[in-house]
Structure 1
Amino acid sequence: MRGWYHSWRAALRIARRDAWRSKGRSFLVLAMIALPIVGVSAADVTVRTSQLSVSDKLDRSIGAADARLKDDGYGGAAILQNPEGDNSITAEDFDDQPYPDGKADLDAALPPGARVLKDATGSAKVRTAHGSLHVELRELTATDPMAEGMLTKLDGRFPDRDDEVAVTSHFLAESGLSLGSKLTFRGLDRPYLITGVYELPGALDTSQVNALPGAVSKPLDTALAAGGLSGTGTSATYLVTVPGGFTWNMVEHANTKGVAVQSRAVLLDPPARSEVKMFQHPDYVDYGSSSEAGTALLASLATVVGLAMLEICLLAGPAFAVGARRSRRQLGLVGANGGDRRHIRSIVLAGGLVIGAAAAVVGTVLGVALTFALRPWLEDWLGQRFGGFDLRPLELLAIALVAVVTGLLAAIVPAVTASRQTVLASLTGRRGVRRASRVLPVIGLVAVVLGAAIALYGSVVSDQFVIVAGGSALAELGVVALTPALVGLFGRAGRWLPLSPRLALRDAVRNRGRTAPAVAAVLAAVAGTVAVATYQVSDEAQQRAAYDAQLPHGAVSALLAEGDGREAGALRDAVRKDLPVDVTADVGRITVGRAGCGMYSDAEGCGYAEVVVPKANECPLWKIGPDGSTASDAMAPAERRRLARDWRCASRSGGVTDTGLVVGDAALLKVLKIDDPAAERALAAGKAVSFYRPNVDEREQISIRQVTDRKAAEEASRAEKPAPGTVVALPAYQAPAGTESYGLDGIVPPAAAKAAGLATAPIGAYYSTDTMPSSPQRQKLDQDVDQIGAEVMLHVEEGFTGEKSIVLLALTVFAGLITIGAAGIATGLAQADAEGDLKTLAAVGAPPRVRRTLSGFQCGVVALMGVVLGSAAGLLPGVGLRFTERRSEEQWYQQLLDQGGTADAPFVPVVIPWQTLAALLVLVPLGAALLAALVTRSRGALARREAD
């Protein structure tokens, strides 16, 4: 025991002194081990800090109150709720009868001794420095202790008078106003003084105005009602404090009054599932939560972190081997002075332990510091504040231990190799010649094929992402095992290269024991980056495809929500004046009844128009039988699936008019970017253009029924009969299937409507723009629209905006950091090990620039080989995961069809991240080569000839 202790103590001292003496090489190895630790620890702290605890969420939701109460909208009927208070059902069955017409009794729901604070939210328009801006109106006494934590004050103070308001910092940035400015609401002449600036911790990008209860909503609703405009739409909830907290029994009592409760005590200590009556109700259906996000997180985390650890092991081994070779004379002296193989192994292993421990400390500290430094930027990027700086000591300790253990394990092979060398070989520096293994490539090829087959099975047959991850990992290890053979294949390209890159490539092939692990390390890091990028780009493509754009990107629609269209001209002039309009397409609607009837008006003498769907075009799934049941109830699942794909059962969104048709010309096709010459010719010839195939009959006509008697139409509807009215047929052209019409069922040219005797009225226009309208331009337009005095539906299509995920961001940055770092460090080791070759070049008269270019190409060659192989290997887990999700969604889709439902077929694309691959293939090798060339001295230092 005593000898073991002293031998290891001596080995640690030798290793520490050797590391300190060879600072450059030690720093290189330390950086190699510490780099992934920086990424892992930073990702861990970032994710943990961004995840709010239940207490933090409650502070932002209910402040310092014990509960938040709200009328759940069931007319005061008793309800059953879940512990979170965000889901409820009625306690009674109202399937055959309407809900009660009333409100929940909030006073009766309050326990004795409760104190209440009203929190009301609505919307309003305010005057800004640029024009008019739509904001969220919140009436809450923010200075009340119960509201503490819900709004974070940044400057000034919260209002304490009825003529004062506070605003969010995002509102100030949008409006151009500042603290101390006067704020005016549309419809009110009285100004409000901005006394404070605050932010919503969970929604930093919200434009909100805070006022005292009733200070804005009451006078504003009165003024807007007098002008015939809609009010603020304010809805109220109530913050409550109760001595002893709001218990589950109190929640159940409030539920009997139709009141839903979000309780601090219940959320911090939720009741058992058996005690929640909602979960036991027969009408309750637990749809569960989507596992896609969790699957993506776990798969990405397992892939990137697993490959990062593989990168450490792969690169650490040759790093210590290089160190052992650089210290071979010292190790030979140990053997010459009586040291046996055990002592030599201890010295090399101690080097791994020392550097691993140092890397653990440095990496963990830098990771925590990196998260702390980037926290403000991450919060602004996500649009929400994190909770407290969450350090998990056990998790950070486990990450640090990984560095120590990895450093120790990585030194095992170099330690064994160094101990087997004879004393003479160690003192003379002769490396000897070793043949490459012929078994390893065969094992690697088998592992690649088997791993790919397992991943394919997991993605096509099974829906378990663990199988995909396991197969991908096995295939990854197979590629690593194949790396020495693949490096040899790369070497055959040297005959076509100039001198310096040819020397670099041949050096890499000749020293495969050093090159192969370095290439494999870069391979593992790049594979992690590509895997994350593949999933992220594919998922964004899926979300982009699911996004329902109302117009082409940058286009604008300004339509009158009601009235007879007399304000359409003024609206058109305002849009053309304030926005960068290119093409204007005026549109109208078909009217029925006396002049002046607005859309959906039920005034005396006002009717409506509807499109008559031909009997042959009616969807069989939607036909209703005498007993009120649908035809799909009696169909077999196979028949439902077939009809769900029938064009007659195609779903559609609601249009901008009651018929889904608009009156317009070919300019509308240009604005909607519909390139169909046949449609333009049809409009010019007085034919309607249909985008919804069921509307067109076999005679290529659209039939429109004009209903003048609304009461008779309602009676006919109850009797399941067609509404009485005059039917007019219009000649029509059916646009090709798949034409994107942005919610319009068809276009009727004015000449066709006039020829058919249909009355029309303008409703506004569609516009294409030269550039995307800016926020000041839109605010100016809102102000001009307000002056028109009509309700206007204004939409500017900004396009799809992807969701921001802190987890995927952390993993992507982490994987990219490892990729760049591994490439640089691996090639740095190659340069260190090839120092003798560089001195030989200088000795035979090679110019100084050859030393720089050779070093640069050595780095570039290693990086390029690793990036090429890693890009191919990283696609497997990313593609496999997407296939797994595709199969899961297709199963859900088939179940929906079997039940008689209709929906679009799932679209789960697999998108190759070409931009990421291009950046990796070009920037990483080029950057590594240039960096190595820049840091390499043109002339090497003179060295003493080693003794033979």
Structure 2
Amino acid sequence: MTHWFHSWRAAVRIARRDAWRAKGRSLLVLAMIALPILGVSAADLTLRSAELSTEESLSRSIGTADARLRDSGYGGVPIYQDPPGEMSTPVADEDDKVSSPGPKPGAAPLASVLPAGVTTLSDSSGNAKLTTEHGLLQTEVRELKAADPMANGLLTLLDGRYPQRADEVAVTEHFLDTSGLKVGSSVGVRGFDRTYRIVGVYELPGELTTLQVNALPGAFLAPYAKAAEKAGLQPVDIQATQLVQVPGGFTWNMVKAANEKGVVVISRAVALDPPARSEVPLYQKDGWTPWEQSLAAQAGVLVMVATVVGLAMLEICLLAGPAFAVGARRSRRQLGLVGANGGDRRHIRAIVLSGGLVIGAAAAVVGTGLGLVLTYALRPVLEGYIGRRFGSFDVRPLELLGIALLAVLTGLFAAIVPAITSSRQSVLASLTGRRGVRRSNRVLPLVGLGAVLLGAAIALYGAVISDHFAVVAGGSALAELGVVAMTPALVGLFGRVGRWLPLSPRLALRDAVRNRGRTAPAVAAVLAAVAGTVAVATYTASDERQQRAEYTAVLPHGAVSALVAEEGGRDAPAAREAVQRLFPVDVRADLERVSVGRADCSMHDGSEGCGRSEVVVPKANECPLWVSTKEHPDPAQRFSREEARKLAKDWRCKEYDDYGINVEGGLLVADAKVLKVLGIEDAGAAQALAAGKVVTFRKPMVDASGKVGIRLITDIPAADEAQMEGKEPPGRVVSLPAHLVDDGRRSYGVTALVSPATAKAAGLTTVPLGALFSTERMPDSEQRQKLDAALAKIGSDVELHLEEGYVSQNDIVLLALAVFAGLVTIGAAGIATGLAQADAEADLKTLAAVGAPPRVRRTLSGFQCGVVATMGVVLGSAMGVLPAIGLRLTEARQQQKWYEQALEENPAGAAFLGDPPYVPIVIPWETLGALLVLVPLGAAVLAALVTRSRGALARRAAT
């Protein structure tokens, strides 16, 4: 045991001395290992620090209180809740509750569930549009006495103080940055005659990007709600909660008692000591079980993490292994002396392995140390990125030790092959510096070829027969590993090209072939990176082609819509003027919509006093496949499969493309300009509008007398109930003569079009909706920013859309992939070139001695780098296309299967399912061209530029 310890201690000392002598090579390997370790350790520290303990979470949700009480929203009926207070449901089934006769109870009375002797603090919130330097800003308003000790932890004061008077507010830092205001500024509210002075700045530790203002209880929300109601604005929804402190804590029994009155409770005592599952009534209810990650899901995550870590270690070992091999060859005389003085093969292996151990340990210390320092130093940046403050800087020594151990193992694994190779050298060859004749391994290429054939067969099976992506991915991965195993033999095949090359590339290729132990790992590393990049790029390009084919434009190319759906279109004129002023507008078409009920109702508003309109489909024109009855709630069940397929081709069952302008019922009030903006060239349509007719784009909308009916519905619940039961919805119907544009013409969501004069003559009440615009040219970025700023000053939310056609989101992805693969390729090729120069220094000096010009050294270095990059890129590109094609073929089969299954289950679906799925396969030739040509060329040029023309004179080696 002592002998083993002393021999390894001597080996470590020798390795440490050699690492210090070859500082450049050691730093290179150390950086390769330390960088991933730095990233993993920083990620571990960030995730652990961002993960809050139960106490920290409670501090941010209930402060120092014992509990927070809130209305469940179920009208005060008894409920069940889970212990954390995140899920709740009525005790009675929802259907029973809805269908039960009689009036529904009101909101849950929070005060009635409070035990005696409690201390309370109200915490309410609502939303309002506040005036800023730029216009109006939708902001959350929170009424909470933040200076109360019970609120400690909910807010963090950054500057100034919390409000102490009714006309004061504090604001979040994000609100201050967004609004352009500052401490001391006054802030107003739309539709409210009061102003408030900003006296402080705070942040929410768990939500750093929240727009919020804090006021004293009763100082803002209640008076603003009254003012909004009086001004006809949208009702203010106030969410009221109570923070309470109870002697002895808020127990689980008290929580269940509060649930009986419809109150949800977040309790500190329950969160810290949750009840058993059997004591939670919610979990005993059918369909309600606490979500827990299954063992299979956990195993899947572990396998995924292990795969990523394993691939990263393999990549590092492939790049670092040649460095250790070159170091061992440079130290072969020293290793020979060890053998001459009685050392055996295990001592030589120990020395080389100790080199990996020393550098791995150094990389572990440097990587984890830098990860710790950088995470601590960048903590505010990381908190801003994830949007919440860390609970504490959580350092897990065992986890960091495991990450550090990973670096040590990576160094050891990278040194295994060089250690075995060095131990097989004879003492005489080591002392004389002869390399001897090394025969390449003939078994490994055969194993690799078998893996390639087997992996290709598995991937082909997955693409043609199986429906599982994992089969294709597994087969492709096996084939890629087979190519990696065949890399030494493939490098030898590349060497046959050298006979037709000039001197410098021939020397570079010969050097790469003769030193396959150094070249093959670098080529394999490039192969792995390029294969992954090409696979993702091919899949991404194919998916983009599919998305482009499936894209449906909202408007004609270059057209603009600016719609104001809320508050009766009050701010629609301002939106129209802003677009007209700031965009290169060609034609402007003002839009209106039919309004039923109160004039201040928003579109699709189902509140009391607000109705809606719809275009009537005559009974004779209704598609039988879509009409449900009490006997047949599912219309398709009324017909046989053959009858349904036949009816699906009936003109009444034609499915129209309604994607486009979002207007209620598809009925638009506008003049003939809208036809020009929408690109509808129909002279008869413009004449029909002028003649007082309704222009429709749907044949089923026109009855036998050539008219279109517009139903005005005031009782929305009754209308919905009638539609569910198949009855005629209640409401007055206005019939107008119709003009049918070519059936099937794309109308961008417009079902029917009526002129303002015709609507007024028919007794239809209209309100502004906005406008459509055609543009002379596509607006540039500056014009869009100016328009966004102008619309931000308008009180209402403006639905703005500029139709740019399909905009690829993957160009930056493909570019990033190409850059990543290029960097890995240049890095791996550069490492191999640097090692080749260190390994072949004697050959370079010989060339200089026999009269070779200085530029030979540069050109040789460039070609050495280019050779490695070219071989890796060519092999990687060939291997990367295989999994992408397999995955796309599998995806095509799956989508076709789903399409046919949908038709089989519902033959009526042929009317709206559309064409069979289109799943193309696209090769990204631009990315491949960049990888195959530009990357090797760039690597070669870069290597040539950074290489010195003349080498340093060498001292005669001691004999």
TM over 0.5: yes
Hey, what's the Cα distance between the residues in 1 that align with 2:155 and 2:847? 69
Q: Does 1:42 align with 2:46?
A: no
Hey, what's the Cα distance between the residues in 2 that align with 1:102 and 1:339? 90
On the 8 A contact 1:307/1:527 being kept in 2, the answer is no
1:562 deviates by: 5.0
Q: What amino acid maps onto 1:44 in structure 2? A: D
Structure 1 residues 215 and 762: CA distance shift in structure 2, 3 A: closer
Hey, what's the Cα distance between the residues in 1 that align with 2:903 and 2:291? 17
Q: What amino acid maps onto 1:943 in structure 2? A: A
Cα deviation 1:421-450 (Å, max 9, x = unaligned): 222211222223334344433322332343
Structure 1 residues 680 and 205: CA distance shift in structure 2, 3 A: farther
Hey, what's the Cα distance between the residues in 2 that align with 1:462 and 1:793? 49
> 1:413: which partner in 2?
417
Hey, what's the Cα distance between the residues in 2 that align with 1:731 and 1:270? 68
Q: What amino acid maps onto 2:562 in structure 1? A: S
Q: How does 1:269-668 map onto structure 2 within 5 Å?
A: 269-282=273-286, 284=288, 301-454=305-458, 470-491=474-495, 500-501=504-505, 503-526=507-530, 555-559=560-564, 561-563=566-568, 569=573, 572-577=576-581, 583-590=587-594, 609-615=613-619, 618=622, 622-626=626-630, 629-631=633-635, 656-664=662-670, 668=674
Cα deviation 1:723-749 (Å, max 9, x = unaligned): 563433522235758x583x5445456
Larger mean CA deviation between 210-219 and 623-632 belongs to 623-632
> 1:939: which partner in 2?
950
Hey, what's the Cα distance between the residues in 2 that align with 1:419 and 1:33? 25
> 2:736: which partner in 1?
728
Q: What amino acid maps onto 1:15 in structure 2? A: A
Q: Does 1:140 align with 2:144?
A: yes
Q: What amino acid maps onto 1:407 in structure 2? A: G
Hey, what's the Cα distance between the residues in 2 that align with 1:65 and 1:812? 54
> 1:861: which partner in 2?
867
Q: Does 1:161 align with 2:161?
A: no
Of 840, 865, 878, 1:834 maps to 840
Q: What amino acid maps onto 1:394 in structure 2? A: L
SS of the counterpart of 1:829? helix
> 1:249: which partner in 2?
253
On the 8 A contact 2:16/2:355 being kept in 1, the answer is yes
1:945 deviates by: 4.7
Cα deviation 1:351-392 (Å, max 9, x = unaligned): 222222222222222333444455444444444444433333
Structure 1 residues 774 and 484: CA distance shift in structure 2, 3 A: same
Hey, what's the Cα distance between the residues in 1 that align with 2:895 and 2:392? 37
Cα deviation 1:135-189 (Å, max 9, x = unaligned): 2222222223333333333322222222212222222222222222221222234
Hey, what's the Cα distance between the residues in 2 that align with 1:423 and 1:168? 75
Q: What amino acid maps onto 2:244 in structure 1? A: V
Cα deviation 1:513-538 (Å, max 9, x = unaligned): 21111121233345566778889999
1:91 deviates by: 0.7
On the 8 A contact 1:638/1:898 being kept in 2, the answer is no
Q: Does 1:127 align with 2:136?
A: no
Hey, what's the Cα distance between the residues in 2 that align with 1:429 and 1:144? 82
SS of the counterpart of 1:236? strand
Cα deviation 1:769-817 (Å, max 9, x = unaligned): 724566775454454x45xxxx6755467999999xxxxxx99999998
1:47 deviates by: 3.9
TM-score (norm 2): 0.81
> 1:770: which partner in 2?
779
Hey, what's the Cα distance between the residues in 1 that align with 2:927 and 2:300? 19
SS of the counterpart of 2:192? coil
Hey, what's the Cα distance between the residues in 2 that align with 1:568 and 1:20? 74
> 2:812: which partner in 1?
none
Hey, what's the Cα distance between the residues in 2 that align with 1:607 and 1:349? 81
On the 8 A contact 1:827/1:863 being kept in 2, the answer is no
SS of the counterpart of 2:189? coil
> 2:153: which partner in 1?
149
Structure 1 residues 69 and 885: CA distance shift in structure 2, 3 A: farther
1:401 deviates by: 1.6
Q: How does 1:12-23 map onto structure 2 within 5 Å?
A: 12-23=12-23
Hey, what's the Cα distance between the residues in 1 that align with 2:119 and 2:919? 51
Q: Output the aligned Cα RMSD.
A: 5.3
On the 8 A contact 1:558/1:794 being kept in 2, the answer is yes
> 2:110: which partner in 1?
106
Hey, what's the Cα distance between the residues in 2 that align with 1:140 and 1:6? 70
Hey, what's the Cα distance between the residues in 2 that align with 1:553 and 1:387? 49
Q: Does 1:175 align with 2:179?
A: yes
Gaps of 5+ in 2: 810-815
1:481 deviates by: 0.9
Hey, what's the Cα distance between the residues in 1 that align with 2:807 and 2:385? 13
1:582 deviates by: 6.2
1:103 deviates by: 1.2
Hey, what's the Cα distance between the residues in 1 that align with 2:338 and 2:881? 48
Q: How does 1:250-269 map onto structure 2 within 5 Å?
A: 250-269=254-273
On the 8 A contact 2:614/2:667 being kept in 1, the answer is no
On the 8 A contact 1:611/1:695 being kept in 2, the answer is no
On the 8 A contact 2:78/2:90 being kept in 1, the answer is yes
Structure 1 residues 939 and 599: CA distance shift in structure 2, 3 A: closer
1:11 deviates by: 1.8
1:861 deviates by: 3.5
SS of the counterpart of 1:191? strand
Cα deviation 1:13-57 (Å, max 9, x = unaligned): 222222222222222232333333233333433444444455444
Cα deviation 1:457-510 (Å, max 9, x = unaligned): 678877877766654543332121122233345556667877655543443234
Hey, what's the Cα distance between the residues in 2 that align with 1:447 and 1:876? 14
Larger mean CA deviation between 727-736 and 699-708 belongs to 699-708
Hey, what's the Cα distance between the residues in 2 that align with 1:829 and 1:9? 28
1:334 deviates by: 1.9
Larger mean CA deviation between 528-537 and 718-727 belongs to 528-537
On the 8 A contact 1:299/1:465 being kept in 2, the answer is no
Larger mean CA deviation between 590-599 and 206-215 belongs to 590-599
Cα deviation 1:636-687 (Å, max 9, x = unaligned): 999999999996577968975443221335754676xx6x555688557759
Hey, what's the Cα distance between the residues in 1 that align with 2:523 and 2:705? 66
Hey, what's the Cα distance between the residues in 2 that align with 1:12 and 1:923? 43
Structure 1 residues 226 and 595: CA distance shift in structure 2, 3 A: closer
Structure 1 residues 491 and 369: CA distance shift in structure 2, 3 A: farther
Hey, what's the Cα distance between the residues in 2 that align with 1:705 and 1:251? 53
Hey, what's the Cα distance between the residues in 2 that align with 1:208 and 1:605? 32
Q: What amino acid maps onto 1:936 in structure 2? A: T
Cα deviation 1:907-934 (Å, max 9, x = unaligned): 9999988888777667865665455445
Hey, what's the Cα distance between the residues in 2 that align with 1:357 and 1:918? 41
Hey, what's the Cα distance between the residues in 1 that align with 2:47 and 2:549? 28
On the 8 A contact 2:594/2:767 being kept in 1, the answer is yes
Gaps of 5+ in 1: 804-809
Structure 1 residues 18 and 567: CA distance shift in structure 2, 3 A: closer
Of 173, 183, 197, 2:201 maps to 197
Q: What amino acid maps onto 2:668 in structure 1? A: V
Cα deviation 1:570-589 (Å, max 9, x = unaligned): 65335534677665321123
TM-score (norm 1): 0.82
On the 8 A contact 1:585/1:766 being kept in 2, the answer is yes
> 1:807: which partner in 2?
none
Cα deviation 1:191-230 (Å, max 9, x = unaligned): 3221222333444333222222222223322333332222
Structure 1 residues 605 and 179: CA distance shift in structure 2, 3 A: closer
Q: What amino acid maps onto 1:728 in structure 2? A: L
1:102 deviates by: 0.9
Hey, what's the Cα distance between the residues in 2 that align with 1:549 and 1:151? 45
Equivalenced residue count is: 931
